[in-house]
Structures are given as structure tokens and as C-alpha cells.
Amino acid sequence: MQTMDVTVSAGNASRVIDVSVMLPVSKSLVARQIIVSALCGKRLFVPDGWMCDDIAAMQRVVSSGGGLVDVGASGTALRFGLAYLSLQEGEFLLDGTERLRQRPVKELVEALRCLGADISSIGCEGFAPLRVRGRAMSGRQVCVDVSRSSQFVSALLLIAPMLKGGLEIVLQGDVRSRPYIDMTLSVMRDCGVKAEESADGRIIKVPCSHYDVGGLRPAEADWSAAAYWYAIAALAGNAAVRLPHLQCGSVQGDAVVSEIYERFGVVTEFRDGGIIVSHRRGHPLPASFDFDFRDNPDLAQCVAVTCICLKVPFVLRGLDSLVFKESDRINATASVLAGMGYGMHTDGRSFMSWDGKACAGGGNLSVKTFGDHRMAMSFAPLCMMGRDVLIEDAGVVSKSYPGFWTDLARAGFSVEPC
């Protein structure tokens, strides 16, 4: 990831958007496929065009023969890697950025230890860096608090077929990002392992089995990345954005972005293995916007900025997991918007709201990204209000969408290093 600041301006893009964009692959899907393939003793082929920081970190996990495994800022690689390496021969040290060392993993560590894993914390208990001595493990029932991350469950599910006796997971606490658990179960089914779930979804049983990676489906484009183009379409006077390889009925929970942006006059047409996103001229804006993002927290910042630009008051709820992401996204978003003159309200833990009455001051808009790719991409569309936006440390987009700034330029935006 290169450190750079960029200034983004809309120019003609604020009036007309007509572009085809090749979105990055869903890193969430690929991460799961990489682990399943590695558990079969195979290496998932990852084309250069799929590469981003998070996928590269997953590849480092499964290719490590021991020693330091640096996963950078990837919480997914930390959690999936912790479960995967617990079964591999050798001794490993999982570590990453300073922010990664603050991201929660204690619940997963405790569950893995119950299964026989040899994991020790080098610093604070339950946080990276973590020393892992791989060895055989046996299944049993484990209870996991998923209030802070659904990845604790996904990490356990992925290795469950490899455990003698299989595994039964009891989900405790307020389940967040449930679609990501369902995505994991879907990948497992594709590869021949079918889990049983209780009626309320709180108990998941996985038999001792083996994967058949011949069932892996081609990875989809990333619906989370599509959200920024939905925002751009909503703010443009006229828009037609073609996004290949996005599927109707996707296992990606963030596909709900198409339903969310219908409220802002954005139409989604599924055609030829992808979608066309367009803006319905004259569509009335909602008087206010209220949504629970407990299953789709990565969309919240993008929607908040869209509402600000369209002067639509909002209440965004179910944001508890955002404080544990690449940045504390609730307080980071509030801080940046406050600096622009928009007084957003938040308890700093679970919701963000704006009354629609605040107004921004003059001059350029400056966005501190806090090392978070979604801060950079969510705030870029602010330039469609007719003012330049300075994005600090804009290279953070390499974590999930390395070509974001190039794609913006192709769509008619001006993106200038500064």
C-alpha cells in the first residue's frame, strides 16, 4: 500500500455518468475458498486482477511453513488464519499492523483452545501477536460470543470438517453480520460439506468430513465495492454504470445495497451476467432514512455520505461491530463530518444520526482516512456536491479495491495526487 493524498473533483461526472467498471472480486468469498482449498492440500489460483491486500494476506497464511505470518491490516486473515494454522504442522507467529493488534480475537482463541489448540498471546491476552503451535484437534461443542464479529464462527466452521468427531457451535450474544456466516456455509456446501442448523440458527453442527474443491463456484464481483457506484449514481444527474459479474440472489449480504438505493431513485437491472445501475430522474427523495445495518455494517458509511449529499436526515442503527473494524468507523465518520460542518449524532457504539439541518462551510473538504479503505471510498462521492475533496492516505483502498481511483478517473472524475 502506497501512502499518498489525492484531491477528487467531479467535473462533468456530477451531471452524467456513463461507464463500465470491472469491480474487484469478493474478497470475502475468495478468503473462504483459499482456506477450503488449502485444507485439501491445494492452492487456489488467484489471478493478478483479483489481488488486493486482504487476499494477499490470506495467501501468506496458507503458504507459510512456519515463523512470522504478517497479515497486515487484515482481520479476516488473522481470524481465518488462526483457525487454519492451529491444525498445521509447525510454529507460527501471527501479527500485523498496530490497528490489527487492537482488533478482537479473544472469543476465537478461547474456542480453539477448547478444541485443543496451542495458542499463546505475546502481548495482551486475546489480541495479536499470537503464537500458534499447530497440532491435531478434536471436535466437541463450543459456545462462541459473536457480538463483536461473525468471523469467529466462520473461522471455526471452515476447519470443522477436519476435526475428529466434527463440531457443534452454539452462537451466543447478539449475532452480527449473519449473511457472512451463511456465506461460509454456502461455500462449504459447494465443496460437499453440509452443516445442520437449529430452527433459530443458534446451533450449527458440522460432521467430520472432507472437502471437494471441484465444487467451488467462480467468485463473484464484490457487492460491497458496488456500493460506492450506487452512491455515485444517486448523486449524478444522469447515470448508467455497468458492473459485470454481480449476481441476483448472491450469497453476499451487501447485495442489499440495491434495495437500499431504490429509496434514492437508483434502479438495478440484471443483464448479461451483471447489472446496470441507473438513476431515475425525478424520483422523490425520502423525507428521512432509517435502516438497521446489523447484517450489513460495511455499507453504513457510504449511505451516511449519500444522505448528507442529498440532504436526507438519517438514523443508521445496528452499527456495534463498526468500532472494531479497520478504524473505529462510527467515531471516525462523526469526526470527519463534524470537521465539514455536519453535526452528526452518535453514542459512539451503535448508531449514527443526522437531523438534516447542519450545513457545510466553504473551502475544500478534507477526509482523514484513519488507515481505513472504506473511509476513503465512502467519502469520495462528496465531490459531487461541487467542491473538491482531499482524501488523505488514499492508498488505503488497496486493501479491497486497488483500482478505485483509476475507475473514478475513467468515469470522468478528476483524481490528482497532492
> pLDDT digit string (tens) for 349-404?
899 999 998 765 555 689 999 999 999 999 999 999 888 999 999 999 999 999 99
Q: For 41-66, what is the mean pLDDT?
A: 94
pLDDT for res 1: 45
What is the spatial distance between Cα 228 and Cα 252, in angstroms, rounded to a whole number?
Answer: 16
Which residues, in sequence order, are bridge partners of residue 389? 8, 365
pTM of the model: 0.95
What is the spatial distance between Cα 111 and Cα 127, in angstroms, rounded to a whole number?
Answer: 14
What is the spatial distance between Cα 350 and Cα 176, in angstroms, rounded to a whole number?
Answer: 12
Which residues, in sequence order, are bridge partners of residue 95? 70
Burial 56-94 (b: 16+ CB within 10 A, else e): bbbbbbbebeeeebbbbbbbbbbbbbbbbbbbbeeebbb
How many helices, marked H, and strands, marked E, lie in the chain?
Answer: 12, 20
Instruction: Write the CA distances from 239 to 46, 233, 276, integer angstroms.
Output: 32, 5, 10
**CA proximity to 148, closest of 107, 187, 98, 209:** 107
Q: For 331-352, what is the mean pLDDT?
A: 92
pLDDT interval class at 221 (50, 70, 90): very high
Whether the CB-CB separation of 390 and 365 falls below 8 Å is answered with yes
Catalytic hit among 95, 298, 320, 372: 298
C-alpha count within 13 angstroms, C-beta hemisphere, residue 291 = 23
Q: For 21-34, what is the mean pLDDT?
A: 97
Eight-class DSSP state of 312: -
Q: Considering the chain, what percentage of its residues have pLDDT values greater than 90?
A: 88
DSSP one-letter string for 15-83 = TEEEEE--PPB-HHHHHHHHHHHHHTT------GGG--HHHHHHHHHHH--SEEEE-TT-HHHHHHHHH
**Whole-number mean pLDDT of the chain?**
94
pLDDT for res 283: 86
pLDDT for res 362: 56
pLDDT for res 50: 87
- Cα angle 312, 281, 255 (rounded to 5 degrees) comes to 65
pLDDT of residue 326 exceeding 60, the answer is yes
Q: For 73-90, what is the mean pLDDT?
A: 97
What is the spatial distance between Cα 42 and Cα 32, in angstroms, rounded to a whole number?
Answer: 13
pLDDT of residue 10 exceeding 60, the answer is yes
Q: For 294-320, what is the mean pLDDT?
A: 96
Q: Distance between the two ends of the chain, CA-based, in angstroms?
A: 17
Would residue 355 show up in a list of annotated catalytic residues for this protein? no
What is the spatial distance between Cα 142 and Cα 181, in angstroms, rounded to a whole number?
Answer: 16
> pLDDT digit string (tens) for 63-72?
999 999 999 9
Q: Which residue has the cell 467519502?
A: 379
